[in-house]
Structure 1
Amino acid sequence: MRIVVIGGTGHVGTYLVPRLVAAGHEVAVLSRSQRSPYRPHGAWDKVPIVKVDREASEKSGKFGSVVAKLEPDVVIDMICFTEESASQLVDAVAGQVQHFLHCGTIWVHGSSEVVPTTEDAPRRPFGGYGRGKAAVERYLLDQARRHDFPATVIHPGHISGPGWVPINPAGNLDLGVFQALIDGKEVALPNLGMETLQHVHASDVADTFLAALNNRSVAVGESFHSVAGGALTLRGYAEAVSGWFGRDPNLTYLPWKEWSQAVPAEDAAATWDHIAHSPHCSMEKARRLLGFTPKFTALETLYESVTALVTAGKLTPR
């Protein structure tokens, strides 16, 4: 099949595109060409990369036609954030594509209630990102059920892997938290450190998309989580990182108001987003319908991510 991957040079596309090529598909990637894939692979020599600024192209009403002119059998959209953006693309490729796969987020659920959260749980998103992604999901699944548009939605957790900084045990992107744990220094966590994060290896997200593509008959009209099995508490995550470097964890705990005033506002905002969601999502639906289970646990994913940062010289073991 001819597959167009929109945003295919990012975290997930780095793994997904070579696997699509290896499976015998003809693949084209749409990208702003502002980054290269995180991992080199010979398959990229066979993949044309069409340079396009999606936002600018959508403003002129031309983005859908750019995709449609590539005559795809399948579209995999990794970078759609609004219903308007989704509808412009759907209008352009409806009746042409056999399968349309969209990358969502587990944040469509909002704060966790009964855990593990299943895909049929009520949507109570908050924040612009979660609300926007929930609107896209609602629109695409409505198009599938009312108009036979062949849409599938994949909802990843905190995508992680070698080449970029994962969400740390304090719920933000401050590399200093990892370095302090490596050094055995005191690290303060908000509240009691019992809120949760749910990472997922980018490789497993890629394989979730492949599983949905290979099981089209049960995937169309459905959404699926893509997370590592189980969620990590902030405390458990921090203790694991300390242990990787032969340290005993040196953790303290502060009430949210006090903790948030002790860190930069940007870090506090990121942490609040993560702990307010405290996700813990189920992978049972993907196992049951797609035959897919993630290969990496959360800690395996994070160990690979952190050791890659050490190798890159961004973290220094003592």
Structure 2
Amino acid sequence: MTILVTGGCGYIGSHTVWALADRGETVVVLDNLSTGFDWAIPPEVTLVRGDIGDATLLDRIITTQGIDAIIHFAGSIIVPESVVDPLAYYYNNTVKSRDLMAAAVRNGVENFVFSSTAAVYGNPEVIPVPEDVPLRPVSPYGSSKLMTEIMLADTARAHDFRYAALRYFNVAGADPKGRTGQSTKGATHLIKVACEAHLGVRSEIQVFGTDYDTPDGTGVRDYIHVADLAEAHVLALGHLRATETSLVANCGYGRGFSVLEVLAAVERVTGAKLPVTYGPRRLGDASSIVARVDRIHEKLDWHPQWDDLDTIVGHALAWEKQLLTKNVHR
């Protein structure tokens, strides 16, 4: 059995590829390398450079590589960018996901794990937010992911097909073994940006919005270590294979930290003050979103190993230092 991982050279994708390889799974990665890096995955993993919207390429990979499952990461992820250019997000995240699903159905691939997002909730009225609340995304990014979830559910009803939609909260950190991390130039992840500012890669870190209805006025998020999230994907695939039952689950730790609390953690870990400036809210940002996580623990028997904010920061900082030391292309 071989797993096709789309976007496997990216941040979360590469961690999941390593997690799969560590378990002896056979993996093929499909990535156009627009934001990912070929060196981010294990050398024994087959990499095909291409686009998930290429139906001919998808058919060839699935049939020649004996693909029995797909883990789908490929897509665009920057919320404010989606507000400015919504059609690009609907094309890259929704239309191309439809093409990938069609290839799966056409070629008899029954198991599909999808990289979804907490952005499908928008500004939820219930915190921590459970999976079954009304879904009201406030950005095209969130809407593009929700549309894909709807297509997955409809496809599962119509075909011999099952899926796991994992709704990520804020992903941070890096591989504890130092094999991969967030390497994309200009990435908007708060902890990465703060670590870069500490190391002088960025001149400052800007806090977007100090007037939210939160204890300190800054946005509150549930931060999850990328290695724990990668493990959730491995478990989700195992769930699909074993139970033949679809699943939608939040991926978070069930507690939130404000932007200022995260910056304080970075200062605590580094022992230095950060160059912080303050600006208005960004388009499409929710004020507070924290996961309810009963389902992922119950259905996947998931046991996070890195549920500590300072540990997350420490791993992210170690990766940033490694990038500087090795002069890795960013």
State the TM-score, normalizing by the size of structure 2: 0.74
Unaligned runs of 5+ in 2: 76-91, 175-180, 326-330
Map Cα deviations across residues 15-61 of structure 1 (whole Å, 9 max, x no partner).
Answer: 22233233232211112245435656xxx232211111335x2xxx4
- After the TM superposition, list the runs of 4 or more consecutive aligned residues in structure 1 that deviate by more than 4 angstroms: 37-40, 172-180, 185-189, 247-252, 310-314
Give, as a single letter, the amino acid of the residue that structure 2 aligns with 1:198.
D
- Structure label with greater radius of gyration: 1
Give, as a single letter, the amino acid of the residue that structure 2 aligns with 1:196.
V
Q: CA deviation at 1:220?
A: 3.3
> Residue 306 and residue 22 in structure 1: after superposition, are their counterparts in 2 closer, same or farther (change >3 A)?
closer
> Residue 311 and residue 10 in structure 1: after superposition, are their counterparts in 2 closer, same or farther (change >3 A)?
closer
* Counterpart pick for 2:68 among 66, 69, 73: 73
The 5-angstrom pairing of residues 137-216 of structure 1 reads 137-162=149-174, 163-164=181-182, 167-168=189-190, 173=193, 178=198, 190-191=210-211, 192-216=216-240
The 5-angstrom pairing of residues 10-29 of structure 1 reads 10-29=10-29
Q: CA deviation at 1:245?
A: 3.4
Map Cα deviations across residues 266-312 of structure 1 (whole Å, 9 max, x no partner).
Answer: xx53xx544x2522112211100110032222512123213433454
> Given that residues 52 and 99 in structure 2 are in contact (C-alpha distance below 8 angstroms), is that contact kept between their aligned partners in structure 1?
no
Q: CA deviation at 1:212?
A: 0.9
Match of 1:303 in 2: 314
> Residue 167 and residue 22 in structure 1: after superposition, are their counterparts in 2 closer, same or farther (change >3 A)?
closer
Unaligned runs of 5+ in 1: 261-267
User: Number of paired residues?
Assistant: 289
> Given that residues 12 and 230 in structure 2 are in contact (C-alpha distance below 8 angstroms), is that contact kept between their aligned partners in structure 1?
yes
SS of aligned partner of 1:46: coil
Identity of aligned residues (%): 22
Provide the C-alpha distance between the structure 1 equivalents of 2:143 and 2:206, rounded to a whole number of angstroms: 36
Provide the C-alpha distance between the structure 2 equivalents of 1:88 and 1:210, rounded to a whole number of angstroms: 23
> Given that residues 189 and 251 in structure 1 are in contact (C-alpha distance below 8 angstroms), is that contact kept between their aligned partners in structure 2?
no
Q: CA deviation at 1:160?
A: 2.0
Q: CA deviation at 1:138?
A: 1.2
Match of 1:264 in 2: none
Q: CA deviation at 1:251?
A: 8.5
Map Cα deviations across residues 66-96 of structure 1 (whole Å, 9 max, x no partner).
Answer: 4433331111111155333222222222261
Give, as a single letter, the amino acid of the residue that structure 2 aligns with 1:78.
F
1:288 equivalent to 2:298? Answer: yes
Provide the C-alpha distance between the structure 2 equivalents of 1:308 and 1:20, rounded to a whole number of angstroms: 21
> Given that residues 210 and 217 in structure 2 are in contact (C-alpha distance below 8 angstroms), is that contact kept between their aligned partners in structure 1?
yes
Match of 2:88 in 1: none
